[in-house]
Chain A
Amino acid sequence: MDPKRLVEVLKAHPFLEDFRPEHIEKLAGMASQVSFEADQTVFREGDESSFFYLLLDGKVALETRAAGRTLRIQTLQAGDELGWSSVLHPVRKQFQARTLEPVKALAFDGARMLEACESDCSFGYALMRRMLGIVAERLQATRMQLLDVYRPGGPRAS
């Protein structure tokens, strides 16, 4: 992808809505385009958390294994982000990410992003605010799921 097109793609991604142009440029300098086949493992539970992805096309399942079964935590698709924990470097992946269909994404090295955050606090603040937004959204979604609101008889009280 040529640099101009890359900037346009980043600008259009919901994660970077209202991101300042110089910050977009900075991210563009760190982005690499990646693609995955359907049913390919992007990362496994316990892997070192290295890459952050902005999904451009396709779907990814976030999964974990429990009681001998694979459980889906979330389905991510174009416009979503994957691997926010990469900016907590060093940390290990909590879940497995598996593609449900062919996926195109932009990948960012977590360690490099962290360096950029530390050397440019304005960029770091803008990026971390967005990351915090994702974390808060996922925490809220998980809490709601735990309530099991569609259970016959209503949400679980205990």
Chain B
Amino acid sequence: MTPATTAVPAGMALPASRAMETVPARVAKVEKETHDTFTLQLEAMNGRALARFAPGQFSMLYVFGVGELPISISGDPERPDRLTYTVRSVGQATYALVTRKPEEAIGVRGPFGTSWPLTSARGKDVVIIAGGIGLAPLRPAIYSILRHRGDYNRLILLYGARSPRDMLYKKELAAWSYLPDTQILQTVDYGGVSWRGHVGVVTTLFRYLRLQPRQTSAFICGPEIMMRYVVRELETRGVADTDIHISMERNMKCGVGFCGHCQLGPHFICKDGPIFPFREMRPWMDKYEL
């Protein structure tokens, strides 16, 4: 069986001539998600329209004078007037990004990369498995499925985080859990006494699912070790590796496969990924550098 295509829809690919063009965007809003993670909304400025994106793609965000970072787009793909990014502050550049104030400018290149195979998932159950900040690049896919709800069967989200205070998008998760044919299961590695939810790694949630393996399309994003174990659970339950897609992360710099920083075997993660059918990535999992 051939894996589903992860190519962005026709007409949405960024022309090569614009790949190295940094477009200034205005910070419209910065929202605190957790103690170390923030969501930024950017809007067009100086009359320069923002490029449209497909769920799963990323941009290169430039904090002027500090540095450029690859950040997945976490907003609604059908709101072309704004670009949304969820960023965890872990170093100098990410700290500079999340401490931008409204009205300040950030440079945007892209969007780059492949997208979640939402077209081939039509008519199937979509099982989304996210770990930590890995929920961010999956959120556009969830928005898209919810906008075209009749095109898909069940929507199942399994979300694992380190602790309740590390969980992203809490209000949205709560709202989605009330939607028909939608199952939202959350778990944390460390829960306090007041936590009423599940405790344990994300793979422990599979026992509460009734999967229809031949009618399932799975999208996964999280730490690689988590994705490996999640794939093992899916395959044990009969889901084919051509129906499993993962989002990979490496040291992406140029965004277009020129610089080679993110090369993994024959793949450039920035250009051939970040979304891959698991079948293509199987031999390369665990290899940080070659």
Chain B residues with Cβ below 8 Å from A141 are 200-201, 203-204
Chain B residues with Cβ below 8 Å from A101 are 196
Chain A residues with Cβ below 8 Å from B187 are 75
Known interface pairs A74-B199, A77-B198, A137-B204. Does A150 touch B225 (Cβ–Cβ under 8 Å)? no
Interface size for B (C-beta < 8 A) is: 31
Tell me the minimal C-beta distance from A25 to chain B in angstroms. 25
A75 touches B197 (CB 8 A): yes
Would you list which residues of chain A between 73 and 102 have a CB under 8 Å from chain B? 73-75, 77, 79-80, 100-101
Chain B residues with Cβ below 8 Å from A140 are 203
A75 touches B198 (CB 8 A): yes
Tell me the minimal C-beta distance from B162 to chain A in angstroms. 4
Tell me the minimal C-beta distance from A101 to chain B in angstroms. 8
Interface size for A (C-beta < 8 A) is: 29
Tell me the minimal C-beta distance from B13 to chain A in angstroms. 32
Identify A145's interface contact among B88, B132, B161, B200, CB under 8 A.
Answer: B200
A152 touches B36 (CB 8 A): yes
Whether, in the assembled complex, A155 has its beta carbon less than 8 Å from a beta carbon of chain B, the answer is yes
CA distance A73 to B197 in the complex (A): 12
Known interface pairs A145-B189, A148-B189. Does A75 touch B223 (Cβ–Cβ under 8 Å)? no
Residues of A within 8 A of B (CB): 14, 59, 61, 63, 70-75, 77, 79-80, 100-101, 137, 140-141, 144-145, 147-155
Residues of B within 8 A of A (CB): 36, 88, 90, 131-132, 160-162, 166, 187, 189-193, 195-201, 203-204, 207-208, 222-223, 225-226, 229
